A and B are shown apart, each in its own frame.
Chain A
Amino acid sequence: MSKKAAPSFSKALFSGVVTDDLLFPYPKLSREEAENLDIMRDTFRKFADDTIDAHLIDEQARLPDKVLQGLKELGFMGMTIPEKYDGFGLSVTAYVKMLDLIAGYDAGVVLTIGAHLSIGLKALLQFGNEEQKKKYLPKLASGEMVAAYCLTEPGAGSDAAGIKTRAVRDEKQGCYILNGSKLWITNGGFADFFTVFAKEPINGPDGEVKDKISAFIVTRDMPGVSSGKAEHKMGIRGSSTAAIFFEDVKVPFENQLGEPGRGFKIAMEVLNSGRLGLAGGSLGGLKAVFKQAIAHIKQRSQFEKTLDQFEMIQEKIGQIAIDIFASESMIYMTTALLDRGDVDYSLESAMCKIRATEVTWNGVNECLQMVGGLGYMKEYPYERAVRDARINPIFEGTNEILRMFVALSGLQERGEYLRKLGKALRGPIKGFGLLTDYATSWVKERVSTDRIREVHSSLNTPKVNFEIWAKNFHFAVERALIHNGKNIIYREMIQERLADAAIDLYAMITTISRVDTLINEKGEAKCQREIRLCNAFADQAWRRVRRNLLMIDHNLDRDIKEISSFVVEEGSYPFEVQ
């Protein structure tokens, strides 16, 4: 993200500024792209109906050759690669919509494509030079080469800056010598193209040599590259997950991606955009299993009533629909911000990933619950959906780390502002390794406003609640900074509440924008269902925001920490009923 980029909506919100002009009207695909997307979806449905058997894929723990071959031949491995390099040039919005559809057929299939396009070759696309792009992108578009993203190591998971893989320049041989290993690499078993992050000794301006992370293109045909055995996994079993080993691999100088020492930034940028695909794919999986559950509920009778007539079932169905509606409103707003190319979306994409993966996790569990004992049986798709969904809150940044990222990036924004105003805070979160842009100067210039634009009267309650809670959110941010000072970086439970409040506020405003835009287009009479969904979601959301903000000042954090500390010291749960 360049410094010129317009600041993120949510970062500004931490500073009490509502930049609603970024989010209204709700964006829409061009007619041409919508038409292409329709045809692509149709192609995928036909292909998938004929070839993808999710039950079988799960059991055999691999994609049948005809599935992977078909995806390549039809061009799905090149969806987002520009036409110039023989790809299809799809926008991120349309791409994520495709992932939503594909995920409904099989989690392993969508992950194979996502690991290739969303992260595997993304660094090449964003940071590669023209020669590198010309050399590899056409092969990656056709599927002749499949890509993998190699960051995680046995000793470096969430703390990605701690990687040990090293690349040392060997001037005599005219190449880098790469050594190390990478863990749990999606597509690892068969990928030919690896985006590898490794530490490189770099001369600092003071003459001191320091290890910094750089990015490299490594291909399987280079001697010394090997992959481990396929990992046995709980879910997403159709996708290949394996360790990758590099032993004295000679990597040509020209295979360095981006500038030396800028690898960490590259790694984070790739994940920032990749998370949106994960968020969209996650919801796609939920929608597919939700559909099956609804079909079952409509025909299953107990006590002479079909299940859909029971209020506790209605509650679950209604809740899942509300949650999907709000999550997709966030996701497709954010993909459009990314497609615009001039807005910082790093916080928003993390928020989408957190919300969508948790909505999915809750939703697939509730679907299983609604169909009862049958849901527990292997011959039905529910237990598989639960297993498949479980990885989502873990990979591409655990939801815990991402909550810290959201809160601390937002607080940093506000902290910088306060510091510049000469308040007591001094560089409260300096050195925190996550990537973020500053919007401070921009925020300072804005006249603070706590109102958003007029929306259709049927959405007035959500609008007013958004305004009230956006304002209270800003006050809570100030209080949290003043009370905790720089210790805020250790107060994860406060960070968590701020992040959750920020997510709900973003979900509220994007849902309002979506429905308001729809009403403008179709008229109120045709949008009654959407209006109901928006109002229901906003009501639930502001109550959660209130609770989270209240708990910043009134909470049990100290007790919880104390309890955790003595349980950990004991090593197990130490009590028994007398």
Chain B
Amino acid sequence: MNIAVCIKQVPDTETRIKLSEDRSRVVEDDINFIMNPYDEFAVEEALKLQEKNGGEVTYISLGPDRVSSALRSALAMGGDKAIHIKTDKVPEDPQVTAQALTAVLKETSYDLVLLGKQAIDDDHAQMPSLLAEKLGWPAVTVVVKLMVENGRVKAEREIDGAHEIVESSLPAIIGTQRGLNEPRYASLKGIMRAKKIQIEERTLTLQPSSLSVAGFEFPPAKQAGKIVGKDASAVPELLRLLHEEAKVI
């Protein structure tokens, strides 16, 4: 069973985001980049499936030079190959990324493509569906449980207030959600093994972007909290404020 895992490199969740002066882009200089946490679930799931069914696990990522370290991180957890689609920057339009990933995915016959249900930086949450559309495959997203048996996929998806259980034929796209598994730690042995794997590089002509970012704004600064009172007598006023001012009840 051959599995591809698409990985996006994103800023560490603890990063303090800085914007360029014209607010048109995020300044990348001091950012610590990590593998998108949702993609880690995809890596772990791919490795578990490989342990059970054999086959190869290939990682694919798109972006500038720095992206190779996300591929190395994945290889340090396990897996066999990595492909780096080299671009000057990460496209703003998910369509552009999907087109490039599709071109590389079509080079090999994969049984399964795993990737996070969304990336934590731009939160588009479109990639699993866009890949499915371009490849003509079924996509199951927000997956919290996955079984592959007899050439079919059985997956549990998280939906509002319930789990939906779906089945699909292979090949298929799986968008992974937190709860699917506990990603393993990359051991030092794994890091050493990963060092010895050559990351394949590809350069592709990207399609023109039909979406561009006009600007960034920071969310308004959090207002300081207010203490209404310290005993039961404050409850009516608290209720009034929550209802009339905060409008949460």
Contact = CB atoms under 8 A, between A and B. Distances in A.
Interface residues of B, number: 16
B98 to A, nearest CB: 27
Contact of A88 (B29, B73, B191, B194): B191
Given A32-B195, A526-B29, A88 B188 contact: yes
A39 B34 contact: no
Contacts of A42: 34, 73, 186
B178 to A, nearest CB: 14
B189 A75 contact: yes
B169 interface: no
A38 B69 contact: yes
Given A35-B72, A526-B29, A43 B195 contact: no
Interface string B113-137: 0000000000000000000000000
Given A35-B69, A38-B69, A42-B73, A73 B191 contact: no
A43 B35 CA distance: 12
Contact of A74 (B73, B185, B192): B185
A462 interface: no
B173 interface: no
A170 interface: no
Interface string A419-458: 0000000000000000000000000000000000000000
B144 to A, nearest CB: 20
B13 to A, nearest CB: 12
A36 to B, nearest CB: 6
A78 interface: yes
A235 to B, nearest CB: 28
B188 A40 contact: yes
Contact of A76 (B34, B76, B188): B188
A215 interface: no
B187 A36 contact: no
Contacts of B68: 35
A440 B187 CA distance: 47
Interface in B18-50: 29, 34
Contacts, number: 45
Contacts of B185: 43, 46-47, 74
B195 A36 contact: yes
A503 interface: no
A227 B186 CA distance: 35
Contacts of A342: none
A74 B187 CA distance: 4
Interface string A74-114: 11101100010000100000000000000000000000000
Contacts of A43: 76, 185-188, 191
Contacts of B192: 83, 88
A531 B209 CA distance: 41
A39 B186 contact: yes
Interface in A33-58: 35-36, 38-40, 42-43, 46-47
B188 to A, nearest CB: 3
Contacts of B69: 35, 38-39
B102 to A, nearest CB: 28
A74 B76 CA distance: 11
Contacts of A47: 185
Question: Interface residues of A toward B: which range?
Answer: 10 to 19
Most buried by B among A32, A35, A78: A35
Contacts of B195: 32, 36
Contacts of B187: 43, 73-75
B188 A75 contact: yes
Contacts of A88: 188, 191-192
A526 B68 CA distance: 25
A554 to B, nearest CB: 47
A75 B72 CA distance: 17
Nearest to B33: A38
Contacts of A40: 186, 188, 191
B65 to A, nearest CB: 10
Contacts of B72: 35-36, 39
Nearest to B186: A43
Nearest to B189: A75
Nearest to B69: A35
A526 B30 CA distance: 11
A38 B186 CA distance: 11
Contacts of A75: 187-189
Contacts of A526: 29
B16 to A, nearest CB: 13
Contact of B188 (A35, A38, A79): A79
A79 B68 CA distance: 23
B191 A39 contact: yes
Nearest to B224: A301
Interface string A174-213: 0000000000000000000000000000000000000000
Contacts of B186: 39-40, 42-43
Contacts of B191: 36, 39-40, 43, 88
A49 to B, nearest CB: 11
A527 to B, nearest CB: 11
Contacts of A35: 68-69, 72
Interface of B: 29, 34, 68-69, 72-73, 76, 185-189, 191-192, 194-195
5 shortest A-B CB distances, which residue pairs? A75-B188, A88-B188, A43-B186, A74-B187, A43-B185
Interface of A: 32, 35-36, 38-40, 42-43, 46-47, 73-76, 78-79, 83, 88, 526
Given A43-B185, A78-B188, A88-B191, 9 more contacts: A35-B68, A39-B69, A39-B72, A39-B186, A39-B191, A40-B191, A46-B185, A75-B189, A526-B29
19 contacts: A35-B68, A35-B72, A36-B72, A36-B191, A38-B73, A39-B69, A39-B186, A39-B191, A42-B73, A43-B76, A43-B186, A43-B187, A43-B191, A47-B185, A73-B187, A74-B185, A79-B188, A88-B191, A526-B29
